[in-house]
Structure 1
Amino acid sequence: MPGTADDDAPIATSKRHDAATDLTDSLIDGKGGAITARAVTINRPAAELYAYWRDLSNLPSFMDNVVSIALNGERSHWVVKAPGGKTVEWDARVTEDRPNELLAWASEEGADVSNSGRIEFRDAGARGTVVTATIAYDPPVGVVGKIIAKMFQREPAIQARRDLRRFKQLMETGEIATSSWTKKQLEEERA
């Protein structure tokens, strides 16, 4: 059953009717009505993955839509790309921190996108670590905002899947594969 101790699947994938309530209840200071969860197994120790994630300034290296994160102790200021070339911003605070196991956060009052979530690191033996990201959020402009975000590939469920895939690539290989050339690569090829 998803969400049990012997299952790698995020609880958000459960077909149980009460799973969303269980998930929201598990978020400290849970904010947001739309919930998404994704999991990936990464062939690295939990301590290494947690340490990289815990330094929030590392997140823009693999989170495609995150422009910047300014740190101030347990609080952070996020600037994130939104549909139509715009950005949204919010302040967030760490609400729970269990080294090598879990990091949870919640946005502060006045956030452009009210959100909360958690990232969990669970040992998977010889396979490495199961990393599960769970995010609850209120899309700007409600359902219409969610539809627009999905059209522009900026919806959190889509981004969570892609960001975790990039995190896996970065942690296992030291780089993130791309399908397009950077300006520098193009110049080198033409030279």
Structure 2
Amino acid sequence: MQRSSRALRDLNAAEACVTIRRTVEDTFGFYRDFTNLPRFLGDVMNVEETGPGVSRWTIQGPLGIPIKWTIRVLEERANELIRYETVASTGLSTCWEVSFRPGPEAGQTEVREVIKTPFGRLGRVGLALMGRPPAGEVQSNLQRLKELLEDGVVTHTEHAVAGKFARDQ
């Protein structure tokens, strides 16, 4: 997994990048169908599309308490970019930017995700103290996306709800 130097420019964001052996169109299409997200995001348990560009996510929060978020797509460029955020009071929303571009070899896609949490660095520290460091989550989520799209199975379980990706023996 590569880490980008862009993270140094924005100290209020966590960022990770991965190269996936799938086309940009396949990778973007899979990610953009938000109902696929629980298959690789560590704490997202369910996603329901509720309208154009709006969905309702159920995540497993601290102490196993389910939390529901409304997510709104802010910007979308097919096969290139998805920007979305939680619907919350100004300054309290979490924002994600996921970009897709051709990888170094034919049939590969470089996926870069940046997450900006409420309260900037203070918010990141708070999440880390709860065992949910954004940098670790972003990197782990992209690793699971890579595994799922390349191999069809998720084996990476760091920064995920305990047992979520356990395989039947």
TM bracket, shorter-chain basis:
0.7 to 0.9
- 1:137 matched to which residue of 2? 117
- 1:95 matched to which residue of 2? 74
Q: Find the aligned partners of 2:10 and 2:72 in 1 and give their Cα distance.
A: 23
1:165 to 143, 150, 162: 143
Q: Find the aligned partners of 1:104 and 1:132 in 2 and give their Cα distance.
A: 12
Q: Find the aligned partners of 1:149 and 1:50 in 2 and give their Cα distance.
A: 28
- 1:86 matched to which residue of 2? 65
Q: Identity across aligned pairs (percent)?
A: 26
Paired AA for residue 116 in structure 1: C
- 1:51 matched to which residue of 2? 29
Question: How far 1:137 sits from its partner (Å)?
Answer: 1.2
Paired AA for residue 19 in structure 2: T
Q: Find the aligned partners of 1:47 and 1:63 in 2 and give their Cα distance.
A: 20
CA contact under 8 A between 1:107 and 1:114: conserved in structure 2?
yes
Q: Could you say if the C-alpha distance between residues 40 and 178 of structure 1 is closer, same or farther in structure 2, counting changes exceeding 3 Å?
A: closer
Question: How far 1:114 sits from its partner (Å)?
Answer: 1.7
User: For residues 22-171 of structure 1, what are the structure 2 equivalents within 5 Å?
Assistant: 34-72=12-50, 73-110=52-89, 114-126=93-105, 128-138=108-118, 143=122, 146-147=124-125, 149-171=127-149
RMSD of the alignment, in Å? 2.9
Paired AA for residue 110 in structure 2: V
Paired AA for residue 102 in structure 2: D
Normalised to the residue count of structure 2, the TM-score between the two structures is 0.79
- 1:24 matched to which residue of 2? none
- 2:160 matched to which residue of 1? none
CA contact under 8 A between 1:82 and 1:154: conserved in structure 2?
no
- 1:37-65 C-alpha deviation (Å, 9 max, x unpaired): 11011111111000000000000001111
CA contact under 8 A between 1:44 and 1:129: conserved in structure 2?
yes
Q: Find the aligned partners of 1:105 and 1:10 in 2 and give their Cα distance.
A: 22
Q: Which has the higher helix share?
A: 1
- 1:50-97 C-alpha deviation (Å, 9 max, x unpaired): 000000000000111112111122101122222222233321211111
Q: Find the aligned partners of 1:10 and 1:89 in 2 and give their Cα distance.
A: 33
Normalised to the residue count of structure 1, the TM-score between the two structures is 0.71
**Structure index of larger Rg:** 1
